[in-house]
Amino acid sequence: MRTLFFSIIVLLCIVSFLYKAYPLRYYDTVKKKSELLDPLLIISVMYVESGFREKVVSPKGAIGLMQIMPATADWLSKTYNIDGNINDPEDNITYGIVYLEYLMEKFGDIDKALIAYNVGPFHVEKMEDAGRRYLKKVKKTYFIYKLLYRYLGSG
């Protein structure tokens, strides 16, 4: 009986740690703006891309929560008539969602869409190591988010 009690306490501590390590930031914004994709998947991309740091800029120049390249934002603005600023967190999320949904429609496969999000749509077929590592990170994070927020509850 003591071992079972100890095991339950340890499990609860682990779950509590996971809720803190994988917060549900920007969920309302993502849910409102996403039409085709699971909001938890988009949250997972955001987690992997920026760790929810709004002002982060990658060494290659990708900006914000969803790590949008300025050229990609310009293309999305023109193609989808988006009037936004990629430095604004909500607009950055909008750009990221629209881009990921575009890639999903283009490739018809979520794995290819996620790889394209990371390495670019012209490098997907090569299935470079970077793309595979990125896909693995996003899928692991997505599994954890689904486990915590869909199957265990809201935390």
* Residue 80: how many other CB atoms lie within 10 Å: 13
* 35, 49, 54, 125: the active-site residue: 49
Rounded to the nearest 5°, which phi and psi values hold at 26? 65, 15
Q: Evaluate whether 94 touches 118 at the Cβ level (below 8 Å).
A: no
Strand partners, 129: none
CB-CB contact of 64 with 86 (8 Å): yes
Q: Is 49 a catalytic residue?
A: yes
SS3 27: helix
Q: Which residues are catalytic?
A: 49
